[in-house]
Amino acid sequence: MTTIVPVPVPDRLDGDEPTPFSVMITLLGDALEHDIGLDHLRSYPREALPGWKDQSDRRRLGFLAHDDTGRAVGALIIEAPCEEDAREVEFELGVAADARDGSVEMALFARLESEARAMGRTALQTYTIHRIDDRAGRLDAPSGVGSVPLDETARTYLDHGFSLAQVDRNSLFDLTGPLDRVREMLAEALTVAGPEYRLVTFTPPTPAELRESFAFVLSRMSTDVPKGELTVTEEVWDAARVERRDERLVQAGTLLSVAAVQHAPTGRIVAYNELSIGRDRARTTHQWGTLVAREHRGHRLGTVVKCANILRWRDLVPESPCISTFNAEENRPMLDVNEALGFTPSTVCAAWEKRLD
């Protein structure tokens, strides 16, 4: 029999003594590494904790599944946006490789639906990562662009009533090689952009004079990038929310670099790219948001922010071996930039959604 237990949020994590919170984060990482044979997408408890302690903008709930012996064999994280009109919850679900008989998954999915209904949410969403496997059957994205292997993970979500909503590509960029091509592309893009746009870079805390403007483009990530068939609520960002995020980054020990483009006539930030890394600077770098506001597209601003941040990152974190990024398969303009820079496909990401009655 599987028992589902809520995970308390600790005040802090000291030493290597396991806590339910650290077991939850580690179990999810272990399950993912087993599935894809890579560890570059793993989360770490100490870096995750600040986002759980400050839930001003996203509510988080955690659960562990225990078997009859009391061993933790599954984990579930639920995240819910705090916007008043939000209908969705995002979640992450993982089961230990030697406990996948279907019963643990069933218990976790049941708890997920129960918690979502209690919040008044009607759309369950998650992302699963898959190996690039041309031998497996394929499940096509509803957009007609991209597909995922019809593997054990995909079948599990289909069996539990989820539909494939979008396919993303996870790509890696080698930071150990020469960056001549990056410099060339930046110079070309700056020429195309012209004097109406100027490049700014910073590491949080975000400069006070840029917080409102940066909040604007961060909010656009929920409206201006391809989302496939996912239910999406527009996020509300302001300077205070940017400050709260900056503080969480400091507490987590996360280094973030932002390259942004400022529209000279208005002073507003209209494009940005973020690169981040945790406490261990020799790990994989993660690209977070990259966005060009709709009304400023066509000026190579995406290329400007990507290239400028890669060059800045080499100086900030020379020991990181690579950058990991995700892009929707239908986002051909951004994939074109990545491919020209030298990003290569690593894994495939499936976005799933189930709508509750």
- The separation between CA 35 and the C-alpha centre of its own chain, rounded to angstroms, equals 18
Is the per-residue pLDDT at 110 higher than 80?
yes
Q: Is the pLDDT of residue 71 over 90?
A: yes
pTM: 0.95
- CA dist., res. 263 & res. 268, Å (int): 5
Which of 99, 93, 35 minimizes the C-alpha distance to 64?
Answer: 93
Whole-number pLDDT of residue 248: 97
Rounded distance, CA 98 to CA 34, Å? 11
> Which H/E stretch holds residue 261?
strand 255-263
Q: Which tokens in the block code for residue 224?
A: 């201006």
Query: What pLDDT is attached to residue 46?
Result: 96
Exposed / middle / buried, residue 272 (Cβ in 10 Å: 0-12, 13-18, 19+) = buried
- Tens digit of each residue's pLDDT (9 = 90 or more) over 190-248: 999 999 999 999 999 999 999 999 999 999 999 888 999 999 999 999 999 999 999 99
pLDDT given at position 15: 78
Determine the pLDDT at residue 126: 98
Contacts of 173 (CB under 8 A, 6+ apart): 310, 322, 323, 325, 338, 341, 342, 343, 344
Secondary structure (DSSP) of 264-299: TTTTEEEEEEEEEE-S-TTS-EEEEEEEE-GGGTTS
Six-digit token string for 200: 């700014």
What would the mean pLDDT of 277-293 be, rounded to a whole number? 97
pLDDT in tens, 118-133: 999 999 999 999 999 7
What is the share, in percent, of the chain residues with pLDDT greater than 70? 100
Give pLDDT, residue 350.
Answer: 98
